[in-house]
Chain A
Amino acid sequence: DTGVSQDPRHKITKRGQNVTFRCDPISEHNRLYWYRQTLGQGPEFLTYFQNEAQLEKSRLLSDRFSAERPKGSFSTLEIQRTEQGDSAMYLCASSLITGEQYFGPGTRLTVT
């Protein structure tokens, strides 16, 4: 399968713990995006990379959130000191510079 993959698919954590998600984009895509989706809403943009450079961050991305794409391939999204409000589906997408975005299956985070 050559689509976008995300790991883990589900994560349950206790409030205050740190979590890290991974996204592997389509191999030739140089752009990688993170979105968050809560129940009844469309995905909301968090941040995106072009190769290893993080080009834009949403104000939704508080100081507890950090994303990296160290070698311009896979990316990680870390949430520190999780809160119940962080419970959501975290989506990754990738694209060529001028192309449409292809989405992965998402990581569902539940903070108890």
Chain B
Amino acid sequence: AQSVSQHNHHVILSEAASLELGCNYSYGGTVNLFWYVQYPGQHLQLLLKYFSGDPLVKGIKGFEAEFIKSKFSFNLRKPSVQWSDTAEYFCAVISYNTDKLIFGTGTRLQVFP
């Protein structure tokens, strides 16, 4: 069965620190990859997505992610975090032969001023 692993369950950073959240998936075929964010009290929002093409994708609010097929990874990065980035971040995958999102368990990010 497909699965998504997020290695960091809880990350605490100071403002201006750099961020990298790990995501690995288990499916070996063609995949579409996503990062969703859930700010406190709000619903899940799409941060960025990879369907094909350039493996380095840019999303909203200065986030980017790199798809490394050989490592089955899709890590999320941001050079300088802000207090407003405090949220829960979910990595998700859709494989070619299905239409359902498979989510990781999420990473809770806390950014302190």
Contacts and interface: CB of A to CB of B under 8 A. Distances in A.
Interface residues of B, number: 20
Nearest to A44: B103
Q: In terms of DSSP, what is the predominant structure of the interface of chain A? A: strand
Interface centre among A42, A44, A45, A100 (most CB of B within 10 A): A42
Nearest to A98: B51
Contacts of B44: 43, 91, 93, 103
A20 to B, nearest CB: 20
Interface residues of A, number: 22
Given A100-B34, A100-B49, A43 B43 contact: no
Contacts, number: 48
B1 to A, nearest CB: 11
Interface of A: 31, 33, 35, 40-45, 48, 55-56, 58, 91, 93, 100-106
24 contacts: A33-B100, A33-B101, A35-B101, A40-B106, A41-B106, A42-B4, A42-B92, A42-B103, A42-B104, A42-B106, A43-B44, A43-B90, A43-B103, A45-B101, A91-B43, A93-B44, A93-B101, A100-B34, A100-B46, A101-B46, A102-B46, A103-B36, A103-B45, A105-B42
